[in-house]
Structures are given as C-alpha cells and as structure tokens.
Amino acid sequence: MLVAMPYGDTPGDAATLDSIQAFGRELFGDVFPLVEKNYRVEANRENRAIAGFSMGGGQSFTLGLRNRDKFAWVGEFSSGAFGLQGSTWKSKCRDSSRIPPP
C-alpha cells in the first residue's frame, strides 16, 4: 500500500466547489503522474482510494464521488462539508441519479 498525502490547502474558502476542483486538478495533474512514474502501483480504479480528515474529508468526499471512475473507495472523516448552506451529499455527485435511495 502506498499513501500519498498532498497539502490540500487551496486559495479562498476550501469548502467551495471551485476550491475543491483546484485541489482535484493538482491531485490528478501532478500527484497521480508523480506516483505512477516513481512507484510500482496498479494505476486503476480498483486499486485506488481517497480519504481525508476535516477539510480534506470534504475534498476527498466530493472528489471521490465526482470521480468514481478513478476511485473504488471513498472515506470521509470529521468533515464539516454538510454544514454549508444548500450542501447535500447528492449535490456533491456529478450524476446523483446513479446513487440508489437510502
């Protein structure tokens, strides 16, 4: 198992979708290629997870659900992302119609 822990501090309010997408661009454009070039990893969805704590929990949850083609596992720990006005778990997903009802 390899764990990469990028510094997810982005400009502005870290809980906004713009800020989370900025972190995603860094993760997918810089971190993934660096890890895949320098370490022997299986670079596919089934062997990749994303998780985070606090601010990173909100980022991980949003990026994980919006990029289900890249992550088989999503973990969110102690995130305040649901406290935002108008924010729901379905609003975090790109295609919430594919999520089964509870």
Judged against a pLDDT cut of 50, whether residue 27 lies above it is answered with: yes
pLDDT by residue (tens digit) across 81-98? 544 555 565 665 656 555
pTM, whole model, 2 decimals? 0.74
CA dist., res. 90 & res. 44, Å (int): 25
Q: Give 40-55 pLDDT, tens digit per residue.
A: 999 999 999 999 988 8
pLDDT tier for residue 68 given thresholds of 50, 70 and 90:
very high
Alpha-carbon Rg for the chain in angstroms? 14
Q: What is the pLDDT of residue 83?
A: 45
In order, the DSSP letters of 2-66 are ---------SS-TTSHHHHHHHHHHIIIIIHHHHHHHS----SGGG-EEEEETHHHHHHHHHHHH
pLDDT per residue over 13-23, tens digit each?
A: 777 888 888 99
Residue 67 pLDDT greater than 90, yes or no: yes
> For residue 100, is pLDDT > 60?
no
